Structure 1
Amino acid sequence: MAASSPSTGRHRPPPSARGIAFVVAAIQFTNALEYMAVSPLFRRMAPDFGVPDSYAGYVTGAYTLTAILSGLAAYFRLNRNDPRRTLLVTLATLAVTTLAIAETHSFAWLLVLRALAGIAGGITMGCAFGVLLACASAAERPRLLATVVASFSLVSIVGIPMVLQAAERAGWPAAFRLIAACCAGCALVAATRIPAIAPPAVRPRTLDLDAGTVLHAAANAVSQLPSLLIVPVLAPLLALLSADPGSLPRLFFAGGVAGFVASHAAGRLARRLGERRLAWLATAALAIDIVLLMCHAVGAEGFMIAFMASTYVRLVATSSVSVAFPAPEHRAGFSALQTAATHLGTTVAFALSAWLLGGRTVTLAGIAPLLWASRIGTLALPAYLRLLRTARA
């Protein structure tokens, strides 16, 4: 129903699902930037906190741990409230905690602030996806999800260079003030452009945490696991493949653009080919890319473009499959559970990557066990999607 303006009495049309998708994409971009920017900035921060830059892992771990816990807690509670209201609270919390980082020089307080940010960050995208899915039809979802997924690639294209430039020009606190401003801006836009979602008249029963729920919630984590195994060694690997030592920024930019374009294309192709066939094609592309790398048959640019494009297409496909699982009244809580599973999967992938590397130097021979694990994990996705179909039936 169209809303009316109390001052004019004129009716305002409700925001379109596509318009809401762009707002959610902006929130995804900001939420991912707030999480990802800390590691590259910490090298500049460490001297002011009196700790070595190797302590970046503690800062990241504080966020990830609380994000997992808050996502699990939100799974049981989020469906009972208006997800828009919770979204505004989490965005405001991210803005305040990020701004506070710029004003502190205590490492203990930094860990506390990152833990608080993790509590908010673990819920933010669950709320945002809950709103988007409530306003989108089943036919629209693949394209709208692709819009949101594509925003993640913009973090490496625009976001990280932007905050690093701010840190270079005005010091690392300026970078966090900039991120805090982005969080506050998203809260303002969400307050004005996202409609309130009325909670159900009857309190819904919590979605059973059974095998089907867990398998669907973990789908995105399973999709990304093979790629995340390679991410910790991606920079030295690209430097190894490239003859130009100064080409890393260009390669990461090319990969980000490839992911952005592929995500948008995947949203359209999912409606024509179906999500599972699309996942098959992207899986084949990623597996071939890894095989060519192991055979010394691909250059840095070709590997990076194929790697990022196929990774994002797989993510769009699994997202489209998994969001169809929960009933409408359970979508916000399910999305929070899915976010928690993704954070947990990222943690497991990074730990497994370090264990498989075993302290070896990054050479194609040295990372062979890592590449084999990634290749096997890549080929597991089609079987996993068949398992989801069985679980849904």
Structure 2
Amino acid sequence: MYSISTKHERRLLWLLALTQFTIIMDFMIMMPLGPQIMHTFGITPAAFATAVSAYSWCSGLSGLFAATYIDRFDRRKLLLIVYALFALSNLGCALASSYPLLLAARAFAGITGGVLASVIMAIVSDVIPVQRRGAATGTIMTSFSLAAIAGVPAGVMLGAHFSWAAPFMLLVVLSVLIWFGGARIVPPLAEHLSRRPPPLRQVLPDLGRLLSNPRHLKAFALTFIMMLSHMMVIPFIAPMLVLNHGVPPAHLSWIYMGGGFATFFTSRAIGRLADRYGKHRVFRIIALVSMLPVLFVTHLPDLPFIAVVLFFPFFMVAVSGRIVPMQALLTTVPEPSRRGAFLSANSAIQALGMGCGAWLGGLMLTNTASGQIAGYGTVGWVAVAIAMVGILWVGRVQAAAAKAPPNPATEFHPEPLSEA
């Protein structure tokens, strides 16, 4: 475990949160830009969905591949190199002059984003003691709130006033600024290299053992289940509001901003609750509560726009809130020496689950003769049913030290028995 000052720790966590913010914004901004991109390139909704899915699937595969090498490098150097490539991928998106070039740029963005997500969580796990990891994870999760409060609304406005490429240019500028901040704030993180990594000829067998470990498989299953449920609903909220309820695309900024503003405060509070009362317990409660706003948004009646804006914070808090204790729990599952590889693989499973969720949700939707979206209510019921499976399954996910007596000489401690 690394020893850094409290002030440095706070600066590092917020730097990582800003890095994650650009990754989340890069993924989220595609959805409200959909109509403009389809019009510009003359593509169908199915082709646009392919571009969205390409990001998630490439992110998942790159994260899985990262599990074979992430523990072989200084975390700082790996973060800075991959983040520079991430900035270049967004420049490629902004300059794409055809659909194939855009698709290639989105795939490359997914590749870099998948590795970055793994490195960020590995740094958090290396630097933050397990007793405070829930609060630290909550800080990182504020990136979702920042993306909703500032990133997506800014992107929507830039896209409306300039072109669909403008939000990606903004991401390039932000990434460059954050990169220089990271070069100053992130310390060398190579302590894990003192444990000699296995030779390359053992990498694939080791990856096989990582993926086949029963404890790991249970954690991966939870990740996939919750991301599947999550992304069946999220990508289609904006199209549903525009097509079914006549919300002007420019007004979507207010909805994302309201939801993001609420989660900015609740993510850290939920992380602290997870540390205090147990990650399993808090996850179950929030996941159960989240079912009501999911069903409401997927069966949304005709309401005044202000009512939709006021409802959306409840939806965002509930849906994003269940991810905080889950992520904190997952950092306790692997052995310390395998934490980076495990988190890389878990990031891959998360991205694959997101891609499959959006794909499955899209399969269940149709367009009516009037141009509205049909079948969203069914999507909501299926998403809730899948989330219920996650609530039942989470009890099977246990920390690496849960079966062993505490050893004060190690950096890794078992979770409280009350969480089981």
Instruction: State whether structure 2 residue 195 is matched by structure 1 residue 202.
Output: yes
CA distance in 2, matches of 1:323, 1:22: 19
Specify which of 255, 265, 280 is matched with residue 261 of structure 1. 265
Q: Which moved more, 1:252-261 or 1:231-240?
A: 231-240
Q: Is the 8 A contact 1:218 1:338 kept in 2?
A: no
TM-score normalised over the length of structure 1? 0.85
Name the structure 2 match of 1:331.
339
Q: Is the 8 A contact 2:270 2:321 kept in 1?
A: yes
* AA of the residue aligned to 1:22: W
* AA of the residue aligned to 2:116: T
Q: Deviations over 1:177-231 (max 9, x none)?
A: 2111112222211111011111422324546222321322343443343332222
Q: Which moved more, 1:143-152 or 1:43-52?
A: 43-52
Report 1:72-221 matches (<5 A).
Answer: 72-198=64-190, 199-204=192-197, 206=206, 208-210=210-212, 211-221=214-224
Q: Is the 8 A contact 1:2 1:14 kept in 2?
A: no
Q: Which moved more, 1:97-106 or 1:266-275?
A: 97-106
**1:20 Cα shift?**
1.4
**1:26 Cα shift?**
0.3
Q: Is the 8 A contact 1:262 1:312 kept in 2?
A: no
* AA of the residue aligned to 1:277: R
CA distance in 2, matches of 1:60, 1:209: 26
Report 1:192-341 matches (<5 A).
Answer: 192-198=184-190, 199-204=192-197, 206=206, 208-210=210-212, 211-235=214-238, 248-290=252-294, 300=308, 303-341=311-349
CA distance in 2, matches of 1:245, 1:313: 28
* AA of the residue aligned to 1:259: T
Aligned residues: 385
Q: Is the 8 A contact 2:366 2:375 kept in 1?
A: no
Q: Deviations over 1:24-52 (max 9, x none)?
A: 10011011112222343354345554545
Residues 1:62 and 1:226: Cα distance change in structure 2 (over 3 Å) = closer
2:113 is paired with a residue whose SS is helix
**1:359 Cα shift?**
5.1
Name the structure 2 match of 1:36.
28
2:210 is paired with a residue whose SS is coil
Q: Which moved more, 1:106-115 or 1:229-238?
A: 229-238
2:56 is paired with a residue whose SS is helix
Q: Deviations over 1:1-43 (max 9, x none)?
A: 999xxxxxxxx96963222111110011011112222343354
**1:334 Cα shift?**
1.8
**1:127 Cα shift?**
0.9
1:197 is paired with a residue whose SS is coil
CA distance in 1, matches of 2:294, 2:302: 10
Name the structure 1 match of 2:201.
none
* AA of the residue aligned to 2:30: V
Q: Is the 8 A contact 2:367 2:374 kept in 1?
A: no
Residues 1:43 and 1:54: Cα distance change in structure 2 (over 3 Å) = farther
Specify which of 386, 393, 396 is matched with residue 387 of structure 1. 396
2:18 is paired with a residue whose SS is helix
Residues 1:209 and 1:15: Cα distance change in structure 2 (over 3 Å) = farther
Name the structure 2 match of 1:7.
none
Unaligned 5+ runs, structure 1: 4-11
Q: Is the 8 A contact 2:55 2:109 kept in 1?
A: yes
Q: Is the 8 A contact 1:251 1:304 kept in 2?
A: yes
CA distance in 2, matches of 1:33, 1:295: 26
* AA of the residue aligned to 2:283: A
CA distance in 1, matches of 2:300, 2:99: 45
Q: Which moved more, 1:90-99 or 1:112-121?
A: 112-121
Q: Is the 8 A contact 2:53 2:358 kept in 1?
A: no
1:139 is paired with a residue whose SS is helix
Identity %: 25
Unaligned 5+ runs, structure 2: 199-205, 404-420
CA distance in 1, matches of 2:267, 2:292: 19
Aligned-pair Cα RMSD in Å: 3.4
Residues 1:96 and 1:296: Cα distance change in structure 2 (over 3 Å) = closer
CA distance in 1, matches of 2:348, 2:295: 31
1:172 is paired with a residue whose SS is coil
Q: Is the 8 A contact 1:360 1:366 kept in 2?
A: no
* AA of the residue aligned to 2:230: S
